[in-house]
Structure 1
Amino acid sequence: MKTNDVIQVVYTTEEQTALETNLSAIEDFAAKNAPNLNAEDRQQYGSIHETNKLLVDKCKTLMEQNPQLIPAFVEKEEFQRDYDARKFIEDTLLRLDGIKRKLEDTKILLDYDNYQDAMAFYRSARYLANEQEEFAIPVYDELKQYFPGKKNGSSSDTETEE
């Protein structure tokens, strides 16, 4: 495998449109059904973490087995709705995290491919500019600014390339 072509991905216009449509539907769902907590709210409500999730699960089971112990101010039906919604959101977030990871990995490989090809182009322009090819000199002059460690664009092969 060539080092400048580690991934081959082509998204059709139809695929891009379908993804945009589906993402818009997810955004609409979240806008309708999910609050947007500010930093203070996030601090106040926080996360119950895994240990406390286990407590909630155990209490749910015990509430079902011992309904006479449920305090009057705790509405079992509301507890169940909240529990079911939390589970649904948690499962959805896990799926979204998996999708996000795959897309990030794809982007990393695409960035790598683009960078390798860009560096090959830069090296070609540098070589031709050093050979005094007139068409290459302005291109090289424009690109050499991305390698500030070099003195006045000297032609040495020791330029910082990453």
Structure 2
Amino acid sequence: MSFANYNSQHFTEEEFARIQDALNTLKQVCEKYLVNLSADERQKYGRVNEQNKLLVNKVYDYHKHQAELQAPEVNWEEFDKDYISRQRLESITNLLERISIGLYNAKIMHDHDNYQAALTDYAYASYKAGTLDPNFEKKYKDLKQFFTKGKTKNTNKES
């Protein structure tokens, strides 16, 4: 039984340490900006859908290009700061999401490689247990618990 190593890209210790350092730095810089919303608060404040974002963008455009038409009751300095922060946060979260998805997909491939190797090792232990080698008999019995009757051993589902 053979398997393919679908992902042969592996982080070095140095790369992993650099990533951990960068993530810790990112966390420290972002700490004061992080907000925990309750489910009710998320429902209450999360109503700015794509259509409403278009409204905000159009109001911002009028504010920047035809200031004489803006409402005096709005704190436009704060509006500008919120608008810029929103753009920056969206840019950061989009980048983090792309990185997260790519890393998660790489993890899936490594999970698959590990699972296929584990199946190969289990098959070998099963073969060797048949030779009455007590060490392999123990290993085979120990691994056998992960296989239930009626299911095939070689499934491609994520482990």
- Offset, 1:58: 0.8
Name the counterpart of 1:138: 138
Name the counterpart of 1:37: 37
User: Is contact 2:119–2:153 with CA below 8 Å preserved after alignment?
Assistant: no
Alpha-carbon distance in 2 for matches of 1:159, 1:46: 45
2:64 counterpart letter in structure 1: E
Q: Structure 2 length as normaliser, TM-score? A: 0.89
Name the counterpart of 2:100: 100
Alpha-carbon distance in 1 for matches of 2:3, 2:77: 58
Name the counterpart of 2:114: 114
**Bigger mean CA offset, 133-142 vs 27-36:** 27-36
Q: Within the alignment, does 1:68 sit opposite 2:68 as a pair?
A: yes
Name the counterpart of 1:81: 81
Name the counterpart of 1:16: 16
User: Is contact 1:129–1:137 with CA below 8 Å preserved after alignment?
Assistant: yes
For residues 54-76 of structure 1, give each alpha carbon's deviation from its aligned partner in whole angstroms, at most 9, with x where no partner exists. 11111111122332232222011
1:22 counterpart letter in structure 2: A
Alpha-carbon distance in 1 for matches of 2:33, 2:3: 45
Percent identity for Structure 1 against Structure 2: 31
Match of 1:146, SS?
coil
1:95 counterpart letter in structure 2: L
1:7 counterpart letter in structure 2: N
**Bigger mean CA offset, 67-76 vs 93-102:** 67-76
Match of 1:17, SS?
helix
For residues 11-60 of structure 1, give each alpha carbon's deviation from its aligned partner in whole angstroms, at most 9, with x where no partner exists. 22211111001101111222212212121211110141211111111111
Alpha-carbon distance in 2 for matches of 1:75, 1:124: 72
**Bigger mean CA offset, 102-111 vs 28-37:** 28-37
State the structure with bigger RCO (CA 8 A, min sep 6), 1 or 2: 2
- Offset, 1:105: 1.1
Alpha-carbon distance in 2 for matches of 1:39, 1:26: 26
Unaligned runs of 5+ in 2: none
Match of 1:135, SS?
helix
User: Is contact 1:4–1:112 with CA below 8 Å preserved after alignment?
Assistant: no
Alpha-carbon distance in 2 for matches of 1:92, 1:62: 26
1:122 counterpart letter in structure 2: Y
